[in-house]
Structure 1
Amino acid sequence: MRIYTTYKVKIKHYNHIFKDTIKIYRDAVDYLINVCLENWDSISMYKGQNRLTYIEVLIHSTKENPVPKYDFDEKFYKIPSYLRRSAINEAIGKVSSYKSNLVNWQNNPVGKKPSYPKAGYVFPSMYRTVMYNQTDDYIAQVKVYIRNTWDWITIDLRKSDMDYIYRRCKNRKQCVPTLQKRGKKWFLDFPFEEKVTLCDTVVYDSTVVAVDLGINTAATISVMRSDGTILGRYFCKLPKETDHLMHSINRIKKAQQYGNYKTPRLWAKAKGINHDIAVKTANYIMDIAVLYNADVIVFEHLDKNGKVRGSKKQKLKMWRSQEVQSVVTNKAHRLGMRISHVCAWGTSKYAYDGSGRVLRGKNGGFSTYELCRFQNGKTYNCDLSASYNIGARYFIREILKSCSETDRLDIEAKVPQCSKRSTCTFSTLISLNAELTALVV
């Protein structure tokens, strides 16, 4: 598979010189959006590069096409050819998305009608040799609209940013940079492409890192094999960072009690701490995966859509589970590891030993929500039990997929829990392995 990563490099000393370039580019995109809308029936008949060629015939005058249908060249005099093509591709993408969304809305008119496409906050791609040239390690040239013409200017790139790229990305393919503005500063975003081969280990020989992401415990990790062997159990708590986060949230609540509802500085600090928790949690998970040379990292499929209710809604809103999974996915794919998700229903509700529902927190007589009591009276860590179930559900799904239809039906008849994934537990995996052993014998 291919992995794309982007690194930003700050442009030094310049602040307002790129505004005219961005304005012209966005105006060109808006103009081309109108062209695409007026001729979409004809454009939609073409695919890929042919669409761009067809639109260029409509707007750009050449020796073979002296009188185009639209006066694009007069409105955007001497605009670089690659910048024009970048604007065409941007317009095609926006109109294509608008048309498909409009058809979906007409078939099922739920919500508002898709809005008319606009250029919005798009930024141009600086194609090499014609829009961007690297003249030195920390110096480059870019073509911009300046002094009523398109001309080259020399820019200084921040040394620390470029050194990071030279150190980290020397074995990756560099793609076309993009001019971007963040706040009052200008940057060049350098995308890099790399090819990796994901592991293709047989499910019976694979090692899985099952992760249960939580609010009180950042991550509870179990390293498992397909036969149910637990190779390791780990807890990532981060108590110091959690205390800092709660302290920041309490300061926001205190400020809001006095009517100060807009607290950007306090919220920025809380979000920064929250981001730090997510990154440290992801790094901890990856350290465990590398330690055991894992083949797959398994998460719950967490759907956080909808309104959050209850006394812990603030904690749930600040829970960065999706960011943790995103960071782990990027790191794991670069190392050739796969990412998988399983159904989250009942992973914490059912005991890993198959004894049924657990009594958690106060319902089980505990002062903490991390402990639970099984129906057989056993006391156990609820998140650890959930991580067993997460890993077991992954193995059950993959093993059944590898079996023939006859064997699968035979197994489901003898182990009926396998047929309903939302009730599978670690004990189901043990029973499944016993039946597989019996089939082999």
Structure 2
Amino acid sequence: MAKATTTIQQTLTYQPHHGDWLAANQALFNRVASFYFDVIQAHCNVLDHPNKEALTILELLTHTTQRNSNPVMPLSDIAEDIPAYFRRAAIHAALGSAHSFHSHLEKWKQRKEKAIAKGKTFHVRPPVPPRAWNKSVTLYQGMWKDRTDNSIMIKVWTGTCWSWINVRITGRELPLDAELGSPQLIRKGTQWWLHTPVEKQFQNPGKIEKQVTTNLETKICAVDLNISENIAVCTVQTVEGTILATKFIKGGDEISGFRKRQLGRIARNRRKTSIIAKGEQDNIALWKMIRQVDEQCAHRISARIVQFAKQHEASILVFEHLGNLRPAKGMYSRRGNTKRAYWMRGRIFTYAKYKAYNTGIVTSRVSPRNTSRECAYCHNLIARYNAGKPAEGYTPGAPLAACGACGMKGNADRNASLVIGQRLIERYHPKEKPQALRRVSKDTGVIVSQDAKNKKEPSIPSVRHADSNEHGTAQDVVFRMDEHASDIPTQLRLFNE
């Protein structure tokens, strides 16, 4: 069995003075967590023990009882009568921060030793302990009770005493077939939320290598992510090479146009003063609007990708491994738009990964090198062109693809998604180096542009970044690959969605 954890976010509705109590409760939690962090710093050997043993040691050092009447560093100096579950939640928060700090400190020391050993000057500053604490309060079992679909009782520090308050819950309902974890009180602006982790068990889908090598009927959903109109192009194929279905997820031009308009408004507002106050966020409402729309779009696209894979019973989801992408130089709104489109594409992969795992689908990534330049049928280099233009050369972002070796013609993004799926299969079924990686002769009739002639940037980064990630814009008419002889078995053609 496998486990997947997700978080259910619900809004709290409460009386006005309860908001002040929740703020005082969080302030006390952070004071207690900061106190225990100092205790750990004074007794660093605590970190050598498992968390359960470390908690016991820290309580012996700080908590006053009949058997332990004189602790080394009494917690009573911070506050009296702190509930046990509140104290233990703060201890776990402090332990997490302490482990993180000491791990970063140890890595810094190792880097410094290597630099000194090589005779280099080391200028990197060492990590420092947290200067301010802003941890959210975790509610263990004794800090809440009587939870229903619409309300929950929470024990909070009011600033003078501990009190139970009843707050209403609105939002997504908790699943009945999942195990609930300890909820957290999260502050977002002036509003308080309740985040509840939910753990679900399902049948383990198995490792990718085992699925691909033991069953030729294993279905793979390959996804080509773009920044054009077709944000994602998904193709389901089997390990033996049969293509089952293709889906074009559109909306790229709409989100890009919206984002560009908002960035243009921000640029015009900045030109009015030519001054941006240090330490202050300008155009807060516009930036918030851009972030929210990008976030909503990333969740929507990732959900549609996973739904398509689940609909066709795919057990593997594969993407390109796109690294640090940089937009081309140009106007502020165009450059900023492209940069945020890259960020949104990264979020689509992140969200699709956990959503797919929750449905029993595992995710993998492959090299993006030449995925948009290689023919999925004969593995030769292709020509990429616009509608109404001759099928020659390579135009980045063009929607159509043609191969002079096998005669294939079709949609360039769909061809790229097929190549992405084949890359995963070739990882576990290695073959001889395909012809796609060789230069096509000029007498084939296909003129392939050479990146080495590009004056703007060298050849390798351009290819590694998948032609500046402009895989093209598909037209409203869906183009399907023609059947040709290749080393892939006969393909099953279905109408695209």
User: Smaller-chain TM-score range?
Assistant: 0.7 to 0.9
Structure-2 change in CA distance of 1:60 and 1:115 (3 Å): same
The aligned residue for residue 324 of structure 1 is 348
Q: Secondary structure at the match of 2:377?
A: coil
Question: What residue number does 2:454 align with?
Answer: none
**In structure 1, how many angstroms separate the alpha carbons of the residues matched to 2:9 and 2:247?**
35
Distance 1:126 1:119, change over 3 A: farther
What is aligned with 2:111?
Answer: 108
- How far did residue 431 of structure 1 move? 4.4
Cα 1:117–1:385, aligned 2, differ >3 Å: closer, same or farther?
same
Q: Are 1:364 and 1:373, in contact at CA under 8 Å, matched by a contact in 2?
A: no
Q: 2:186 aligns with which of 166, 177, 180?
A: 180
Distance 1:255 1:350, change over 3 A: farther
Specify the alignment match of 2:440 in structure 1: none
Q: 1:403 is matched with which residue? A: none
Amino acid at match of 2:81: K
Distance in 2 between residues matched to 1:115 and 1:417, nearest whole Å: 52
Cα distance, 1:244–1:82 mapped onto 2, change above 3 Å: same
Equivalent residue letter for 2:317 = I
Q: Secondary structure at the match of 1:102?
A: helix
Question: What is the rounded CA distance, in whole Å, between the counterparts of 2:385 and 2:126 in structure 1?
Answer: 47
- Does the 8 A contact of 1:11 with 1:156 survive in 2? yes
Aligned twin of 1:76:
79
Shift of 1:149: 2.0
Matched, 1:287 2:293: no
Structure 2 Cα separation of the partners of residues 365 and 432 of structure 1 = 25
Where does structure 2 lack aligned partners over 5 or more consecutive residues? 113-121, 277-281, 387-391, 438-462, 465-480, 491-497
Q: Does 1:190 align with 2:196?
A: yes
How many Å separate the matches in 2 of 1:229 and 1:7? Answer: 39
Q: Provide closer, same or farther for how the CA distance between residues 196 and 304 of structure 1 changes in structure 2, counting only shifts above 3 A.
A: farther
How many residues align? The count is 406
CA distance in structure 2 between the aligned counterparts of 1:336 and 1:367, rounded to whole angstroms: 36
Superposed displacement of residue 225, structure 1:
1.1
**Structure-2 residue corresponding to 1:199:** 205
Alpha-carbon shift at residue 3 of structure 1 (Å): 1.4
> Displacement, 1:366?
5.9
Aligned to 1:93: 96
The structural deviation recorded for 1:259 is 4.3
The answer for the alignment partner of 1:39 in structure 2 is 43
Bigger mean CA deviation after superposition, 370-379 or 200-209: 370-379
How big is each residue's C-alpha offset from its partner over 1:92-144, in whole Å with a ceiling of 9 and x where there is no partner?
1111111111111111147432122356210221112x211126543322222
* Structure with greater proportional helix content: 1
1:117 aligns with 2:130: yes
Q: Secondary structure of the residue that 1:78 maps to in structure 2?
A: coil
1:251 aligned residue: 265
CA contact (8 A) 1:9 1:157 kept: no
2:220 aligns with one of 208, 211, 219 = 208
Question: Structure 1, residues 210-241: CA drift from partner, whole Å, max 9, x if none?
Answer: 10000102011111111211112221121444
TM-score (norm 2): 0.74
Aligned AA (2:350)? S
Q: What letter corresponds to residue 103 of structure 2 in structure 1?
A: S
Q: Residue in 2 aligned with 1:165?
A: 173
TM-score (norm. length: structure 1): 0.83
How many Å separate the matches in 2 of 1:309 and 1:112? 33
Match of 1:140 among 129, 152, 157: 152
Whether 1:347 and 2:364 are equivalent positions in the alignment is no
| 1:437 aligned partner | none
Q: Does 1:397 align with 2:427?
A: yes
Which residue, 396, 399, 405 being the options, matches 1:370? 399
Task: Give the superposed CA RMSD.
Answer: 3.0
The separation in 2 between residues aligned to 1:96 and 1:353, in whole angstroms, is 51
Is the contact between residue 224 and residue 230 of structure 1 (CA under 8 Å) also seen in structure 2? yes
1:155 aligned to 2:166? yes
- Aligned position for 2:433: 416
The Cα shift of 1:355 comes to 5.3
Distance 2:5 2:377 in 1: 42
